[in-house]
Chains A and B, each alone.
Chain A
């Protein structure tokens, strides 16, 4: 039977039981990946580790906001990481959307959580199937380093030039996903 991913189970244990062992698992899974992205973006090991610490601490402190029916753990971590990166690198707090109010009485919907986990797995597989050149474009759009973007921002909107390439990458992604779901 379909089960929750390890990451979701760890995150729920952190959220609901303040479980430090599970937090350790999350740290060991996401910490090196976050640092990998940051170093690839040109940050020094020291600064990258500072940001990883900051992000992991935010995950621990804001765990109550994690909603497994609306976001996979990786999507939630991604969002926190990009927010903290801007706050740290640019020294500004980026504007964030209003949080959705959770309904008073709600029983967790396990099937919805599992479905999201499966969706996430399919998405990762689709990304792995992209051609290296396509994948590079998608990666640049979603994980592109902020310092580079800042230089571009001073000379004009970076989107203008890479816009069409992002669209192509996404279109390819959609097709891959469609094929995948058709199987």
Chain B
């Protein structure tokens, strides 16, 4: 496997650390950090800044009642759901989003498949399966698109993306990612608004496919 060269930019790591990043993007960040020691270390550095700010922060008195309530609960047994573990090419946070089950793919045509993992007002995260040599149709973005490669590789106008790499495409980029020949390229992609595909799925059908 090639080394990861495309990482999560710092401003996204900070937003993730702070918790202001939407659910779909947070999933991509958590998945990438699971695969990438460098980004894990950088996230750790940002959390250190957050911790330092917390230590310097102004205080508010916590009531004795609240303090006592916590101490009352220290010895209470906790029942925890069994953890969902990483499986195959899918890191833990992705398996978590899959509910511990293998992906249930929906065909998009030309061998391309997808599975929506989550979809809310802020954006959507999905898994994409692109057969080797196949292009993801030319599309523009309304907002930020993060694409993390889990298997195989793709190329577009901006470079090559292998396993663990993240492409950060903003609203201005119109690109046509092409999966490399060989094994299918499987990606985790997050967008904050519907992608505008120029072909493959007619615009009218997009709400049905939710892409």
Interface size on A, residues (CB 8 A): 71
B11 / chain A contacts, CB cutoff of 8 Å: 159, 163, 166-167
Partner of B58, one of A40, A61, A95: A40
Judge whether B66 is part of the interface by a CB distance below 8 angstroms.
Answer: yes
Q: Is the CB of A143 within 8 A of B54?
A: yes
Q: Please determine whether B69 and A53 come into contact, CB atoms closer than 8 angstroms.
A: yes
State whether the Cβ of B128 lies closer than 8 Å to any Cβ in chain A.
no
Contacts of A157 in B (CB 8 A): 143-144, 192
Whether B169 sits at the interface, judged by CB under 8 Å, is no
Q: Is the CB of A97 within 8 A of B93?
A: yes
Nearest residue, chain B, Cβ from A152: B20
Q: Interface residues, chain B, CB within 8 Å of chain A? A: 10-12, 14-15, 17-20, 22-23, 26-27, 29-31, 33-34, 40, 43-44, 46-63, 66-67, 69-71, 73-74, 78, 86, 91-93, 96-97, 121-122, 143-144, 192
**Chain A nearest CB, measured from B74 CB (Å):** 6
* Binary CB contact string for chain A from 24 to 53 against chain B (1 if under 8 A, 0 otherwise): 100100111111111110000100110011
| Residues of chain B with a CB closer than 8 A to A71's CB | 44, 47-48, 51
In addition to A39-B60, A53-B69, 6 A-B residue pairs with Cβ atoms within 8 Å of each other are: A23-B74, A74-B48, A75-B44, A95-B31, A120-B48, A128-B56
Q: Is B10's CB under 8 angstroms from A36's CB?
A: no
**SS of A interface (majority):** helix
Q: List 29 A-B residue pairs with CB atoms under 8 Å apart, sorted by A's residue number.
A: A27-B62, A27-B67, A27-B70, A33-B57, A39-B60, A49-B66, A61-B78, A74-B52, A74-B54, A75-B44, A75-B51, A76-B51, A78-B17, A94-B19, A94-B26, A94-B30, A95-B30, A97-B33, A97-B92, A98-B34, A127-B49, A141-B15, A142-B14, A153-B22, A153-B122, A154-B121, A154-B122, A156-B192, A158-B20
